[in-house]
């Protein structure tokens, strides 16, 4: 008789039924998980979040009443369902086994479950613990960040899972820069430490959860390439100046024939004359500073055929 049937009958029926169920799990009866005698529930059951969990209890022909409980809540009494959770269903109620299944298991389903039986007017219980594993998931991570060289940087990567995942940071530049912690602290960051940082959360339940953070390091310009060049009168002469900087440097030059593209500035003389020979200054500037370099265009002897 289920709850609905009992409610449809006089109140005495409800009292009798409740008393019978309470008699199955009287206060003070010890739990005998793993006892050689019946009822014998399974060992601990471990399932992943979203999967189904089957709870089995071994009984015999002496059993007159059976019930499954979650803590103090009755899930099933015999074939009568007491739980309002549609995910909980009965699998078998035979002379040898009493089992239920919980579909789409979630974290809140974790905990102790009790198989309770009545035989020869003696109630007995056995307990099984349901363990719910949760794949690792990064729930909060630092946004991409831009800082000036020499600053201190803290990257955060918070992850959840059961068991608790291990969080690891690594620098994708290929350089050795690893931290096994939710927080990665970089003191006095250098331009070589710019780039992408990968956070990985691992707990062996499923594939790791991986996210990336881009760190941009601003630094003032420096001239990385500026060479003196020789050219003969009447020939083409080219002076080039290359500057590294973040943000990209701007080149200051007011001469005709100057072009700039990215890190490279080029001064072109299409028909070199004597007055073009001399010293030229390349100036590179960004918001953090400026630098300059001197480049000489000198005369080169023509090779006679």
Written as tens digits, the pLDDT of the chain (305 aa) is 444 433 333 333 433 344 344 444 433 333 333 344 556 666 789 999 999 999 999 888 888 899 999 988 999 999 999 999 999 999 999 989 999 999 999 999 999 999 999 987 788 888 999 999 999 999 999 999 999 999 999 999 999 999 999 999 999 876 655 688 899 999 999 999 999 999 999 998 999 999 999 999 999 999 999 999 999 999 999 999 999 999 999 987 656 678 888 899 999 999 999 999 999 999 999 999 999 999 999 998 765 55
188: left (phi over 0), alpha (psi -120 to 50) or beta: left
Angle at 86 between CA 85 and CA 87, to 5 degrees: 90
Cα separation, 52 vs 205, whole angstroms: 15
Q: Is 116 exposed, middle or buried (0-12, 13-18, 19+ CB in 10 A)?
A: buried
Per the DSSP assignment, residues forming a β-bridge with 147 are 217
Extract the tokens encoding 166. Answer: 């291990």
**pTM value?**
0.72
Cβ neighbours around 212 below 10 Å, total: 12
């Amino acid at each position: 008789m289920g709850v609905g049937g009992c409610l449809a009958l006089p109140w005495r029926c409800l009292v009798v039924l409740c008393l019978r169920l309470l008699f199955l799990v009287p206060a003070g009866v010890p739990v005998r998980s793993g006892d050689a005698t019946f009822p014998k529930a399974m060992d601990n059951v471990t399932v992943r979040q979203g999967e189904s969990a089957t709870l089995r209890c071994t009984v015999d022909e002496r059993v007159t009443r059976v019930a499954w409980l979650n803590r103090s809540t009755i899930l099933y009494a015999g074939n009568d369902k007491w739980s309002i959770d549609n995910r909980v269903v009965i699998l078998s109620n035979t002379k040898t086994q009493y089992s239920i299944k919980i579909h789409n298991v979630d974290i809140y389903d974790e905990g102790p479950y009790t198989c309770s039986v009545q035989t020869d007017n003696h109630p007995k219980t056995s307990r099984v613990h349901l363990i719910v594993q949760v794949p690792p998931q990064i729930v909060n991570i630092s946004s991409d960040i831009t800082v000036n060289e020499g600053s201190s940087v803290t990257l955060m990567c918070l992850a959840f899972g059961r068991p608790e995942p291990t969080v690891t940071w690594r620098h994708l530049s290929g350089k050795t820069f690893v931290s096994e912690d939710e927080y990665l602290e970089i003191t006095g960051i250098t331009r070589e430490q710019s780039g992408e940082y990968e956070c990985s959360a691992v707990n062996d339940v499923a594939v790791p959860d991986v996210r990336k953070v881009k760190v941009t390091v601003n630094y003032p310009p420096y001239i990385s390439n500026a060479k003196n060049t020789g050219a003969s009168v009447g020939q083409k002469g080219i002076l080039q100046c290359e500057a590294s900087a973040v943000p990209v440097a701007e080149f200051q030059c007011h001469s005709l024939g100057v072009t700039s593209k990215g890190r490279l500035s080029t001064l072109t003389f299409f028909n070199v004359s004597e007055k073009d020979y001399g010293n030229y200054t390349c100036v590179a500037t960004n918001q953090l500073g400026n630098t300059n370099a001197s480049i000489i265009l000198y005369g080169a002897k023509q090779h006679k055929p």
